A and B are shown apart, each in its own frame.
Chain A
Amino acid sequence: MMLIRIALKQQTVGLIALGLAGVLGGVLNALAFIQIAGTTPAERAAFAQQMTLLGAQLSYMLPVPVHIDTLSGYLEWRLFGFIVLVYAIWAAIAGSGSGRGDEERGLVEQWLAAGVGRTRYIITRVAVFAAVATVVIGAMQLSILLSAGGEPLPAGELLAMAVNLLAATLCSYGIALVIAQLVTTRRAAGGIAAGLLIALFLINGAGRTADLGAVRWLSPFYHFERSRPLTNAGSLDVGAISVLFGAAVVLTTIGIVTFARRDLGGTALPGASRESRATRSPSRDPLLRLPVLGPLRQQRIWVAAWLVGFVALSASLISITRTIVDSLTSSEVPFLRAYFDRAGLGVYDSFVGVIWLSTAMLLLSAYAIIQVASWSADDAEGRLATILSAPVSHARVILERLATLLVAVGLIAAASAVAVYVVAAGQGITLDGGRVALAAALLLTIPFAFGSIGQFVSASRPRIAVVALSAVAVLSYFVQQFVPLFDLPDWVANLSLYTLFGTPMSGDIKWGGVAGLVGIGTVATAASLIALRQRDVGA
């Protein structure tokens, strides 16, 4: 029972964060459909035509829409087509935590010493995750059902989708659990698993328009998509759902068996540990001894992976800009045209700005959240105490962390800006180089604001820092997404950090918003200084 309680406690963050994100996403998408799809058959038909066209252009990311004139079809396309990736990433983080995180912290050793069997330990973790995932998915489905607003949406269909979503999530968890047996750190396991799942998601997306052969079968997202319960009277593709659950069982079993057989702290790969060169001398790398560059050097592989991944993503997004804009501007629905104009999606260069910068904002805020998680871990794992045992002020710690974050993000944003400019030119879209550079520079205000808020929470209550900052990100995202749809006032929109950033590639730059972000960051940094100074380290 104790084992279950502890496993549950370790899933608390996921339970709250994903539960909230799922419920908010479900409710807002349901309400958004009712708002934008119209009520008459003619409006619905026009809406369906437009969304089908848009869906075809977004097929690299979302499944091709079916029965888009209904709430069921809209949710299946807009919500479930993407949220399956969110749950998969969550499963990757949880799976790597189960398979490696506790071990890294020495907890597994304690459990085994207390007489708990390895198999029992890991099965408990798997079972608890499955239970938590069921609750999270169930809560989202229930919230959708309650907010359907009279639109036909049978509970049975939602239940079938929940089963489908659970199968894909557990399959992703199994992938992460196996990967965790092959590497020695949670960070590596989580990073590889998340990267692999994103790649499998994109492979499935590419397979919608190109013939990838059997490769697509490797993607759990392909099998998830083969079942369309919301638009197919609640029926699941038996083969696909069997593959997902079967893969989840097989992968989890492999993970459990490997975990039970391998050495604690080691990997299941033979000869994975490399001999290091013995030395009695400190590292001669001068970067290690320099402020900002020292921490950055230790993150170099991580930063490089983000840089390469984001450059590739930016390039692929820009490569489809022309076709998407062409489809949007031919809309026959006045409301949609107005919406697209309001969102700045009507012209190539502004669309580049919207699609690139909105993705960049999300990803760079995610990067900031991950950094905040590591700052909180510095406190819990004694590294902060080591740093503060040197003649280093609290202010230096705060400012160095922020500077390290901004330098890393600056490199990523700059590389991405170059990729956007070059790929856009290749598409025949001429961008203002100065505006692209300025937009990339202004991007730094987002991680600055997120990092500073996170730093403040991390300095005050390190254990809740990630949850709190994730909540800020999710709320900012939903506010930004849904304010134009519901035509809400500006002050509501400005509650979102993403809205404050604006769309600097189209029209005037929203200097007030940028100043707001800088102001939030500055105030939060000052508050962090006070909070860290006043709090007991490691408490």
Chain B
Amino acid sequence: MTEAIQTKALTKDYGNGRGIFDLDLSITEGEVFGFLGPNGAGKTTTIRLLMGLIHATRGGARIFGLDCDHDSVAAKRKVGYCPGELPQFGGWRGSEIVAYVAGLRGDVKDAAITALAERLDLDLGRKYREYSHGNKQKLALILAFMHQPALVILDEPTTGLDPLVQQEFYGIVRDARTRGATIFISSHVLSEVEHVCDRVGIVRQGHLATVSPLEDLVGMRAFRVDIDFADQVPVERLKQVDGLDQLVVTDHRATGLLRGTFEPLMAAVAGTRVVGFTSREPSLEEIFLTYYR
């Protein structure tokens, strides 16, 4: 298989430990790769390096064998890009923006734009400044996918999208993969990349922590749970629960971080009067603090 993306010791040093350092990454053609990391970890910097928008301090990156810096024009013929920070197009209409960028690319079919606008339910007749954040994100996705690129680079692409549109977005990603495209998605939410990715790379404080197939990261899956009891908290039984860490008990409430399935926890609280039970996905940073401690 050809390498769609390959980086060697890719480094962008902004000083004070900010940036991305010695990134070695290899993504094969047709793969959907999730690039996970907390805010400020270096995800956007990596993507901007791949797009040739910024220059590496050292090391380098290639897209389909083309140097991202020196052959950036040729490389970008094969790439669709959705930035993390949306540009401002002021009074331009959506229809004018896609036509203008299509003109810059020169390889875009109007029918493809229309199909994407219909799937994402975006009215291109409105002015950009009138778009909500979600609609601006939809437009950015249209610009990324409209020319059916061989590689799509998406920087936190579901930001601002409602759950229904997110599902449509995952569908677009799957369709792109079906036609053989490689997808590189950055995110700071584990559950987001779970939907579509084959492999996940995790970056933290500018360094690549791990690259693994998605199934290997299931162990990282965790929930922050809060349980309110009517009576005493069954502390000893909770301490025995497999996968329950960071247990804190205050009055009638117990909180903790649960890995794996809920079954052991449910068994532990069976027979007690539970008056409140909430679980939420912890931030990636919280997961890191336990996973890489």
Contacts and interface: CB of A to CB of B under 8 A. Distances in A.
Nearest to A280: B117
Interface in B112-142: 113-114, 117-118, 122-127, 129-130
A13 to B, nearest CB: 20
Nearest to A387: B104
Interface in B12-51: 48, 51
B162 interface: no
Contacts of B96: 283, 285, 288, 298
B53 A279 contact: no
Interface string B90-120: 1111011011111111100010011001100
A363 interface: no
Given A278-B125, A282-B124, A389-B83, A290 B103 contact: yes
Contact of A388 (B52, B88, B129): B52
A381 B88 contact: yes
A169 interface: no
Interface string B137-172: 000000100000000000000000000000000000
Interface in B219-275: none
Interface stretch (B74-82, B188-196, B208-216): B74-82
Interface residues of A, number: 40
Most buried by B among A185, A291, A385, A393: A385
A309 interface: no
B218 interface: no
B55 interface: yes
B136 to A, nearest CB: 11
Interface in B42-74: 48, 51-55, 72-74
Interface in A264-310: 265, 273, 276-285, 288-291, 294, 298
A279 B95 contact: yes
Contact of A383 (B53, B87, B91, B110): B87
Nearest to B91: A185
A281 B53 contact: no
B89 interface: yes
A283 B90 CA distance: 17
A385 B72 CA distance: 13
Contacts of B129: 104, 184-185, 265
A391 interface: yes
Interface residues of B, number: 48
Nearest to B153: A389
A185 B90 contact: yes
Contact of B99 (A280, A282, A291, A391): A282
Which of A273, A276, A390, A537 has the most C-beta atoms of chain B within 10 angstroms of its own C-beta? A390
A276 B103 contact: no
A90 B143 CA distance: 38
A534 B122 contact: no
Given A381-B88, A389-B76, A282 B54 contact: no
A184 B129 CA distance: 9
Interface string B184-211: 0000000000000000000000000000
A390 B89 CA distance: 16
B92 A389 contact: no
A465 to B, nearest CB: 18
A391 B55 contact: no
A389 B54 contact: no
Contact of A536 (B55, B76, B81, B90): B55
Nearest to B86: A382
A386 interface: yes
Nearest to B118: A280
Contacts of A382: 83, 85-88
Interface string A401-424: 000000000000000000000000
18 contacts: A184-B91, A185-B90, A185-B129, A273-B130, A280-B118, A280-B122, A282-B98, A288-B103, A298-B96, A298-B100, A381-B87, A382-B88, A386-B87, A389-B79, A390-B76, A390-B105, A536-B53, A536-B55
4 residue pairs, one from A and one from B, having the closest CB atoms: A289-B103, A382-B87, A536-B54, A390-B104
Given A282-B95, A389-B81, 14 more contacts: A105-B88, A273-B130, A276-B126, A280-B117, A280-B122, A280-B123, A281-B114, A281-B117, A298-B100, A382-B87, A383-B88, A389-B51, A391-B106, A537-B53
